[in-house]
């Protein structure tokens, strides 16, 4: 389902944009504003991160956003309500991004059921490798949701094929090692890596980690299908406010 | 794709994809080392020539008389090089790092003992070394920060989250996912993703193996109970593994902080406040809220001030093989004072939790019962905390005088 939506969009655009927000950072009202601004600026998909106290795969920008959001007292319940509202208001696919403990504590089946009720399309759970994901995969499948898995720069071809067999919607390719928010070198080597990713799966490819401007997105065109902007949007929000986030998005393609 | 490293459903390996290859290599190196008798011999050689193994088993005659119950023995892990059991794990992993051909090590530390041990290993084996330590722990274990830096390690003070051990672990993982080609993460306790719980327990098993042999030599029979404090669970796993197949009761003692009803503690297995979750790469009991957000923990001892606990200990509790209790900050200060005055031993505040629980139980046991307490480390590092707890006037005057000298 998510894959079909992506393919339809790809028939009209040479690259799609996926943006990321941390729900409740710096507060829920601003999060609504940011989603509205991003959708109006033309983003094609959005990742909504449910804050977690131990965001191990995130770098300093998103780590701080997680902590600040939690400090406002935001709950998982409120995150569901938020997702339901934006999914009702805007006609683009929304995904949850969070860490596995949030699903595990809620109950994986109940979590997936509520995701579907809220109109979400899928989830990215970076600390849940396919080996540990039986219950999650079954629940996501049952509710027609896309489990998005990750290809890392050091993932070998055999493993890529195994991972892709479990995923749906698209594959999230990391542009480099490390955590979110650091500098990425958009080099020939990265182009080669994306070619390997392409050969290993039929699923659309998203590229994230360090994507921040027009040049980066131009580089990605033709090599992947979706450019993912995460930390940079938070940086712009912090330094220049919500309207500037819209300018950033419009400048990318 | 198989599930690995499960103990009664606890454990596992919940890692981001970027670390998959690194963990495959680590599991391979660990399994090859386990299958190679030469490796363990090399390990024993290092531990007996660089550290102080076998560490003695000390009969505590005065404490035994004082309580009038079981005969109390103390396993002296404080006599390891750097003053704690942490050296056992660190030197073992150091030998593995050599085999894997890596050139840099990183570690988290709470009490600073694991950090100091890692810094000595890195200096001796020629590795670059970075240690992550929560800001609160930097403050309360300052002497160890000094030694790590003198030993050539970079100490990074972690200001995120609760600024204690769990936050240092997160930060070490963030370093590792960038630098795993050159770097090994020397995890300091029997927690984290597979193979760490099992591997750290293996290196620490040297404690229990020695203790069992020593008590049989001295007394000709096994102890009734053995006691160890539980932070992440490595010294407890080390002692327990020597007695796993014996009719010996295994008692783990967690940080009761200001009391189990106060909410200010780090008791995961001995309180009702913890629930099963998945964080820091493994499944176990965590002190967390209903949403799965980790709570702040409290303990007078930095080394026990942690939200999770070894999945192998969670398993031993689940199958009824081990019992878990908690000792409060106040009980711990009383225990360390008594141990100093009666035996002239200075246990670390972490270790003193095991002493406190053994002291509660010793009077109820028969005179021919034997108990062993694991003195996981020495208390020198706690000089500031203990001085504050007793509001030591002479020490305060000295610090003030020293500060004036620096101002001059
Ligand atoms: C002396 C000492 N004992 C015990 C611990 C707790 O760790 P574990 O439960 O892994 O033995 C520490 C940790 O820093 C320590 O320094």
Q: Closest approach of chain B CAs to the CA of A38, in angstroms? A: 28
Q: Determine, for residues A179 and B12 on separate chains, whether the beta-carbon distance falls below 8 Å.
A: no
pLDDT at B259: 98
Q: Give me the helix-helix angle, B196-219 and B37-49, nearest 10°.
A: 60
Last residue of a domain, one of B196, B223, B255: B196
pLDDT at A111: 98
Q: Within a domain: residue B401?
A: no
For ligand 1, atom 10, name the residue with the nearest CA.
B234
Task: Answer whether A32 touches B (CB < 8 Å).
Answer: no
pLDDT tier for residue A182 given thresholds of 50, 70 and 90:
confident
Range B316-344 average pLDDT: 98
Task: Answer whether A161 touches B (CB < 8 Å).
Answer: no
Last residue of a domain, one of B168, B196, B224: B196
Cα–ligand 1 centroid distance for A55 (angstroms) = 25
Q: Which residues of B are catalytic?
A: 86, 108, 376
Q: Determine, for residues B16 and A156 on separate chains, whether the beta-carbon distance falls below 8 Å.
A: no
Q: Within a domain: residue B8?
A: no
Q: Are residues B151 and B290 in the same domain?
A: no
Q: What is the rounded CA–CA span in Å between residue B202 and residue B196?
A: 10
Q: Within a domain: residue B3?
A: no
B225 φ, ψ (degrees, to nearest 5): -140, 150
pLDDT tier for residue B4 given thresholds of 50, 70 and 90:
confident
Task: Count up the domains in chain B and report the number.
Answer: 2
**Interface A:B, Cβ pairs < 8 A:** 110
Q: Are residues B217 and B360 in the same domain?
A: yes
pLDDT at B161: 87
Q: Closest approach of chain B CAs to the CA of A238, in angstroms? A: 19
Mean pLDDT taken over chain B: 97
Range B370-375 average pLDDT: 99
Task: Answer whether A101 touches B (CB < 8 Å).
Answer: yes
Give the total residue count for chain A. 253
Can you tell me which atom of ligand 1 is nearest the CA of B165? 14
Instruction: Specify the DSSP class assigned to residue B245.
Output: T
Task: Tell me: pLDDT of A104 over 90.
Answer: yes
Q: Determine, for residues A152 and B20 on separate chains, whether the beta-carbon distance falls below 8 Å.
A: yes
pLDDT at B116: 98
Burial B179-209 (b: 16+ CB within 10 A, else e): bbeebbbbbbbbbbbbbbbbbbbbbbbbbbb
pLDDT at A243: 97
Q: Closest approach of chain B CAs to the CA of A189, in angstroms? A: 17
Q: Which domain holds residue B251?
A: 53-83+205-388
Q: Determine, for residues A54 and B166 on separate chains, whether the beta-carbon distance falls below 8 Å.
A: yes
Q: Note the pLDDT tens digit of each residue in B232-261.
A: 999 999 999 999 999 999 999 999 999 999
Q: What is the rounded CA–CA span in Å between residue B144 and residue B131?
A: 11
Task: Answer whether A59 touches B (CB < 8 Å).
Answer: yes
Cβ neighbours of B3 in A, within 8 Å: 131-132
pLDDT tier for residue B316 given thresholds of 50, 70 and 90:
very high
Task: Please state which CATH class domain A2-251 belongs to.
Answer: alpha beta
Cβ neighbours of A71 in B, within 8 Å: none
Stretch 284-313 of chain B: residues touching chain A, C-beta under 8 Å:
286, 288, 290-294
Q: Determine, for residues B12 and A52 on separate chains, whether the beta-carbon distance falls below 8 Å.
A: no
Range B333-343 average pLDDT: 98
Range B209-227 average pLDDT: 98
For ligand 1, atom 7, name the residue with the nearest CA.
B231
CB A4 within 8 A of CB A146: no
Q: Which residues line ligand 1 (CB under 6 A)?
A: B 84, 86, 110-111, 113-114, 189, 229-236, 303-304, 348, 350-351, 376-377
Task: Tell which wins on pLDDT, A219 or B162.
Answer: A219
Q: What is the rounded CA–CA span in Å between residue B223 and residue B371?
A: 5
Q: Are residues B23 and B139 in the same domain?
A: yes
Task: Tell me: pLDDT of B63 over 80.
Answer: yes
Task: Tell me: pLDDT of A229 over 80.
Answer: yes
Q: Are residues B356 and B288 in the same domain?
A: yes
Task: Answer whether A135 touches B (CB < 8 Å).
Answer: no
Cα–ligand 1 centroid distance for B376 (angstroms) = 7
Task: Tell me: pLDDT of B101 over 60.
Answer: yes
pLDDT at B305: 95
Q: Are residues B107 and B79 in the same domain?
A: no
CB B301 within 8 A of CB B353: yes
Give the residue among A46, A7, A81, A16 at the shortest CA–CA distance from A221.
A16
- Number of DSSP helices (H) and strands (E) in chain A, helices first: 12, 8
Mutate which of B80, B82, B111, B280 for ligand 1 pocket (most atoms within 8 A of beta carbon): B111
Q: Note the pLDDT tens digit of each residue in B395-404.
A: 999 999 999 9
Task: Tell me: pLDDT of A234 over 90.
Answer: yes
Q: Within a domain: residue B381?
A: yes
Q: Within a domain: residue B7?
A: no
pLDDT at B399: 95
Provide the percentage of residues in chain B whose pLDDT is more than 90: 97
Q: Are residues B183 and B314 in the same domain?
A: no
Q: What is the rounded CA–CA span in Å between residue A184 and residue B265?
A: 42
Write the CA distances from A220 to A207, A208, A234, B210, integer angstroms. Answer: 8, 10, 21, 60
Q: Determine, for residues B292 and A177 on separate chains, whether the beta-carbon distance falls below 8 Å.
A: no
Q: Are residues B226 and B251 in the same domain?
A: yes
Q: Closest approach of chain A CAs to the CA of B143, in angstroms? A: 28
Rg (chain B; Cα; Å)? 20
Q: What is the rounded CA–CA span in Å between residue A54 and residue B346?
A: 35
Task: Tell me: pLDDT of B185 over 70.
Answer: yes
Task: Tell me: pLDDT of B1 over 80.
Answer: no
Cβ neighbours of A155 in B, within 8 Å: 17, 20-21
Q: Are residues B236 and B113 in the same domain?
A: no
**CB-nearest partner of B18 from A70, A174, A182:** A174
Q: Note the pLDDT tens digit of each residue in A120-141.
A: 999 999 999 999 999 999 999 9
Residues 6+ apart with CB under 8 A from B333: B300, B352, B386, B389, B390
Task: Tell me: pLDDT of B303 over 80.
Answer: yes
Provide the percentage of residues in chain A whose pLDDT is more than 90: 94
Task: Answer whether A180 touches B (CB < 8 Å).
Answer: no
Beta-bridge mates of residue B276: B285
Mean pLDDT taken over chain A: 97
CATH, residue B150: 3.40.50.1100
DSSP A25-86: SS-HHHHHHHHHHHHHTT-SEEEEEPP-S--TT--HHHHHHHHHHHHTT--HHHHHHHHHHH
Range B184-204 average pLDDT: 98
Q: Note the pLDDT tens digit of each residue in B343-359.
A: 999 999 999 999 999 99
Q: E strands along B86-188, which residues?
A: 104-109, 128-134, 154-158, 183-185
pLDDT at B2: 61
**CB-nearest partner of B16 from A57, A63, A76:** A57
ipTM: 0.96
Distance of CA A232 to the CA centre of its chain: 14
Q: Within a domain: residue B224?
A: yes
Q: Are residues B107 and B97 in the same domain?
A: yes
Q: Are residues B224 and B358 in the same domain?
A: yes
Contacts of the segment B35-43: beta carbons below 8 A, 24+ positions apart: B39/B95, B42/B95, B43/B91, B43/B92, B43/B95, B43/B203, B43/B206
How many Cα atoms occupy the beta-carbon half-sphere of B134 within 13 Å? 22
Domain-by-domain residue ranges, chain A? 2-251
Can you tell me which atom of ligand 1 is nearest the CA of B236? 11
Q: Are residues B244 and B357 in the same domain?
A: yes
Q: Are residues B210 and B133 in the same domain?
A: no
């Amino acid at each position: 389902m998510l894959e079909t939506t992506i393919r339809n969009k790809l028939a009209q655009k040479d690259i799609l944009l996926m943006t990321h927000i941390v729900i409740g950072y710096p507060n829920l009202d601003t999060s609504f504003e940011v989603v509205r601004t991003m959708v109006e600026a033309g983003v094609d998909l959005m990742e909504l991160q449910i804050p977690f106290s131990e965001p191990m795969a995130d770098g300093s920008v998103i780590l701080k956003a997680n902590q600040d959001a939690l400090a406002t007292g935001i709950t998982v319940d409120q995150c569901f309500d938020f997702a339901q509202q934006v999914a009702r208001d805007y006609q683009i696919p929304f995904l949850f991004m969070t860490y596995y403990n949030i699903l595990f504590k809620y109950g994986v089946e109940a979590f997936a059921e509520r995701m579907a009720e809220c109109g979400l399309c899928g989830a990215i759970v970076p600390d849940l490798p396919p080996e540990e994901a039986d219950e999650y995969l079954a629940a996501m499948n049952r509710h027609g949701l896309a489990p998005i898995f990750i290809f890392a720069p050091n993932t070998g071809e055999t493993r890529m094929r195994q991972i892709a067999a479990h995923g749906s919607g698209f594959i999230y390719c990391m542009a480099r090692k490390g955590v979110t928010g650091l500098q990425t070198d958009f080099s020939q080597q990265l182009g080669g890596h994306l070619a390997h990713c392409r050969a290993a799966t039929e699923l659309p490819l998203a590229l994230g980690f360090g994507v921040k401007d027009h040049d980066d997105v131009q580089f990605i065109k033709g090599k992947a299908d979706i450019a993912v902007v995460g930390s940079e949007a938070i940086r712009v929000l912090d330094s220049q406010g919500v309207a500037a986030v819209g300018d950033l998005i419009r400048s990318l393609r | 794709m198989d599930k690995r490293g499960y103990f009664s459903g606890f454990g596992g390996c919940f890692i981001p994809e970027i670390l998959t290859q690194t963990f495959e290599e680590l599991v391979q190196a660990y399994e090859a080392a386990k299958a190679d008798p030469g490796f363990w011999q090399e390990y024993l050689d290092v531990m007996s020539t660089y550290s102080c193994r076998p560490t003695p088993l000390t009969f505590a005659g005065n404490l035994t008389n004082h309580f009038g119950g079981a005969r109390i023995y103390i396993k002296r892990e404080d006599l390891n090089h750097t003053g704690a059991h942490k050296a056992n794990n660190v030197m073992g992993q150091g030998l593995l790092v050599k085999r894997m051909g890596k050139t840099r090590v990183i570690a988290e530390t709470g009490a600073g003992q694991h950090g100091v041990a890692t810094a000595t290993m890195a200096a001796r084996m020629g590795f670059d070394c970075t240690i992550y330590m929560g800001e609160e722990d930097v403050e309360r274990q300052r002497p160890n920060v000094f030694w790590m830096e003198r030993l050539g390690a970079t100490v990074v003070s972690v200001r995120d989250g609760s600024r204690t051990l769990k936050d240092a672990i997160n930060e070490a993982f963030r370093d590792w996912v960038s630098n795993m080609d050159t770097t090994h993460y020397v995890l300091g306790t029997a927690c984290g993703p597979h193979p760490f719980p099992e591997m750290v327990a293996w290196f620490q098993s040297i404690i229990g193996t020695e203790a069992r042999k020593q008590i049989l030599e001295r007394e000709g029979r096994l102890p009734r109970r053995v006691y160890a404090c539980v932070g992440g669970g490595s010294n407890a796993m080390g002692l327990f593994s020597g007695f796993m197949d014996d009719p010996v009761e295994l008692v783990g003692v967690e940080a009761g902080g200001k009391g189990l009803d106060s909410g200010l503690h780090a008791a995961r297995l001995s309180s009702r406040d913890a629930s099963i979750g998945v964080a820091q790469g493994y499944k176990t009991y965590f002190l967390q809220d209903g949403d799965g957000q980790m709570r702040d923990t409290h303990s007078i001892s930095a080394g026990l001030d942690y939200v999770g606990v070894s999945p192998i200990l969670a398993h031993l509790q689940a199958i009824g093989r081990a019992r878990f209790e908690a000792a409060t900050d106040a009980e711990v200060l009383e225990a360390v004072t008594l141990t100093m005055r009666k035996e002239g031993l200075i246990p670390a505040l972490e270790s003193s939790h095991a002493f406190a629980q053994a002291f509660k139980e010793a009077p109820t046991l028969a005179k021919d019962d034997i108990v062993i307490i694991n003195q996981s480390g020495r208390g020198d590092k706690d000089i500031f905390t203990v001085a504050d707890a007793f509001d030591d006037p002479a020490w305060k005057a000295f610090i003030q005088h020293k500060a004036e000298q620096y101002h001059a």
